[in-house]
Chains A and B, each alone.
Chain A
């Protein structure tokens, strides 16, 4: 997936493949500019007009989402089967409408449900996410940040989707409120058997919530596998660096280690390995040829020529 800009095409997402199984949580972790949010938008075809999808497929239970007509996508897929809880969602609530009415609107514009039934559905949803029913008539400015995020979660659940894409769902929140939202998301995910894609820059959230993890760097997945393998036996130098740079509250006081350098320019991505300039294991081969995704075992993959040899 490329973005056209005045300076040239930005190769925002390049050869990204993953599978989300029913009822599981997949984490997509990467730093700013790595293409995390672009992936979410590509899945739901919500990309801005300067974006082009050049190749690849998106299928939901065998159904092709990439070539589906827009009207069908809107009627059958968005909200009903896949909903998005995005970073900006908290501020996407319309300030002049009551939150209950906004959630009701989402229900009524996608279904034939009557006003009265929809109202009672909304009240039940609000209770489910921990907002009392009598908040139905509150306006967004009367709610705290955590409450607004709960309202957004209620809205995303309104039409009983199977998949929730949560793009940085707690980034703007303080840590105690973040924990409240995480606990809520986890219990909803388990009780409803939801599949979830959690997109975040925060490795600790991935460890907290996810079964499988994809580590994204400069528009590519560099490592993909079960969470415990990614954290305890990482096989890509970038993942290793990221884990060492991440402060852990429970480890002994230590000097943190940064990854030198900066990510490459995605207008002209190098034809070599994209991490080569920052990698301490790099050899001539790495700057000559881009490594493919290598299968380490049935579930664990790494985009590194030396994935089998390097250990943390």
Chain B
């Protein structure tokens, strides 16, 4: 159901990207991150060595606080995974800065990055691919500890074992003594993904990037992985970047949510706000397109036509304008800035008020009894 709050006065202040900083201690913050890839597209280009520039990230800023699950959503190719990888310094950004607990890590040396790796971990999409099938659960989890012995201050095999058991307890694979000798093929998909989380956890990180952690799993077992994630946030104050294409899932598991389109964040805020009061026409189109598991509920609607254009030819002005039902002349010439509307809620659209007013009317007609 859509929540409408009477006639709230929407006050807006234009903020610049470097100022997107709000109180609360931030674990990781990126400012104006850009990433461009050079690619040879097509047969003749490959032969002639002609390259094109793909603007995968085009000025992305976000700030993840301690004990927060931050959702990053968008369609395939919008750059969500690139954001996660850049945060962990797995790829070099073209420009922009990354701060981990206030420290600028954008240009940290290889050695410095290695020390940081234990503090920032990643959980991958496919637990059938990301875990070595020849290693037992114990070896999978202990491997990282052995590599980071000095940082973690462990010396004996017994203390490694203690850490592994503790990690398995945290991901609710109990009794852990029974699981350590198992091999991946003896585990269900949900259990494998929890082993992958344990492998990240054992290094005592402050921050984990979870890239579509449940999209390969059946619906009936997704919750066991997601609830482990929310429990870790509540118990240990861990922070997550939760990359997903599923807004319904994001609503129930994340605290904040950012929507990306073609390498840019178009809207962000508290997850409930973004989904129940979507200001950006693109967010609105995504929401209207999601089917609801209720045969008597609203039906999907197509707000926008076409498909996402290629990141090689990003449209001028607002990158969404060729598909946007509210687009006017200014949209094709001037790129809207990400503006703060109320609280944490930010949107980059010249005409979000008009779009939201129309959306409210449509939703009342179709959603409310």
Instruction: Give the interface of A toward B (CB within 8 A).
Output: 31-32, 144-146, 174-180, 182-183, 201-208, 210, 227-228, 231-232, 241-243, 245-251, 253-260, 262
Report the separation of the CA atoms of residues A61 and B45 in the bound assembly, to the nearest whole angstrom. 56
Do the beta carbons of A174 and B292 come within 8 Å of each other?
no
Within 8 Å of chain A (Cβ to Cβ): is B312?
no
Q: Which residues of A contact B224 (CB under 8 A)?
A: 258, 260
In the bound complex, residues from chain A placing their C-beta under 8 Å from that of B300 are 179, 182-183, 208
Is B252 an interface position by the 8 A CB rule?
Answer: yes
- Decide: A207 and B220 in contact? CB cutoff 8 A: no
- Distance of A179 Cα from B290 Cα, bound (Å): 7
A281 to chain B, nearest CB (A): 16
Interface residue range, chain B: 35 or more
Given contacts A177-B307, A250-B367, 19 further A-B contacts (CB under 8 A): A31-B218, A32-B218, A146-B307, A176-B302, A180-B302, A183-B301, A201-B219, A202-B291, A204-B290, A204-B292, A207-B293, A207-B297, A231-B294, A247-B246, A249-B251, A253-B251, A256-B222, A258-B227, A262-B188
Interface residues of B in 22-39 (CB under 8 A from A): none
- Residue B275 at the chain A interface, CB threshold 8 Å: yes
Q: Does B219 lie within 8 Å of A203, measured CB to CB? A: yes
Question: Which listed residue, B218, B289, B297, touches A201 by the CB 8 Å rule?
Answer: B218
Q: Given A205-B291, A250-B292, A253-B271, does the pair A258, B190 have CB atoms closer than 8 Å?
A: yes
24 A-B pairs with CB atoms under 8 Å apart are A31-B219, A31-B220, A32-B218, A176-B286, A179-B288, A179-B302, A203-B219, A204-B293, A207-B297, A210-B295, A227-B295, A231-B295, A245-B219, A247-B251, A248-B248, A249-B275, A250-B2, A253-B251, A253-B272, A255-B230, A256-B226, A256-B227, A258-B227, A262-B188
Neighbouring A residues of B292 by C-beta, 8 Å: 204, 207-208, 248-250
Decide: A247 near B249, CB < 8 A? Known: A178-B289, A207-B291, A256-B226: yes
| Contacts A144-B307, A247-B251, A258-B220 given; does A208 touch B291 at CB 8 Å | yes
CB distance from A198 to the nearest CB of B (A): 12
CA distance A118 to B297 in the complex (A): 41
Nearest residue, chain B, Cβ from A145: B307
Residues of B close to A232: CB separation below 8 A: 296
Beta-carbon nearest neighbor of B225 in chain A: A258
Distance (whole angstroms) from the CB of B71 to the closest CB of chain A: 12
Q: From A175, which residue of chain B is reached at the shortest CB distance?
A: B289
Minimum Cβ distance to chain A for residue B249 (Å): 5
In angstroms, how far is the closest chain A Cβ from the Cβ of B234? 11
Are B286 and A245 in contact (CB-based, < 8 A)? Answer: no
B286 cross-chain contacts in A, Cβ below 8 A: 175-176
Q: Could you tell me the distance between the alpha carbons of A255 and B300 in the complex, rounded to whole angstroms? A: 25
Nearest A residue (CB) for B254:
A253
Q: B304 to chain A: which residues have CB within 8 Å? A: 176
Q: Which residues of B contact A204 (CB under 8 A)?
A: 248, 290-293
- The reply to whether the CB of B90 lies closer than 8 angstroms to some CB of chain A is no
B220: which A residues are within 8 A, CB to CB? 31, 241-242, 245, 258-259
Q: How far is the CA of A252 from the CA of B272 in the complex (A)?
A: 9
Chain B contacts of A227 at CB under 8 A?
A: 295
Cβ of B308 and Cβ of A250 under 8 Å apart? no
Q: How far is the CB of A100 from chain B (nearest CB, A)?
A: 20
Q: Determine the chain A residues whose CB is within 8 A of the CB of B291 once the complex forms.
A: 179, 182, 202, 204-205, 207-208
Does the CB pair A258–B293 fall under 8 Å? no
**Alpha-carbon distance A205/B219, docked complex (angstroms):** 14
* B245 is an interface residue with CB less than 8 A from chain A: yes
Cα distance, A122 to B296, chains bound together (Å): 36
Using known A-B contacts A250-B297, A254-B252, determine if residue A179 contacts B289 with beta carbons closer than 8 Å: yes
Among A175, A183, A205, the one with the most B-chain Cβ atoms within 10 Å of its Cβ is A175
Partner pick for B302 among A183, A253, A254, A258, CB 8 A cutoff: A183
Q: Report the minimum CB–CB distance from A187 to chain B (whole Å).
A: 11
Smallest distance from the beta carbon of B162 to chain A beta carbons, Å? Answer: 28
Min Cβ gap A222→B in Å is 13
Within 8 A of A (CB), among B220-245: 220-224, 226-227, 230, 245
CB A71 to nearest CB in B, in angstroms, measures 40
For A210, what are the chain B residues with a Cβ–Cβ distance below 8 Å? Answer: 295
Q: Is B126 an interface residue (CB 8 A)?
A: no
Instruction: Tell me the B1-41 residues at the A interface (CB within 8 Å).
Output: 1-2
A180→B222 CA distance, assembly (Å)? 27
CB contacts under 8 Å to A, within B249-266, are 249, 251-253
- Residues of chain A with a CB closer than 8 A to B311's CB: none
Residues 86-97 of chain B, each 1 if its beta carbon lies under 8 Å from chain A, else 0:
000000000000
B277 at the interface (CB under 8 A from A): no
**A183 and B248 alpha carbons, distance in the complex (Å):** 20
* Distance in angstroms between the alpha carbons of A231 and B295 in the assembled complex: 7
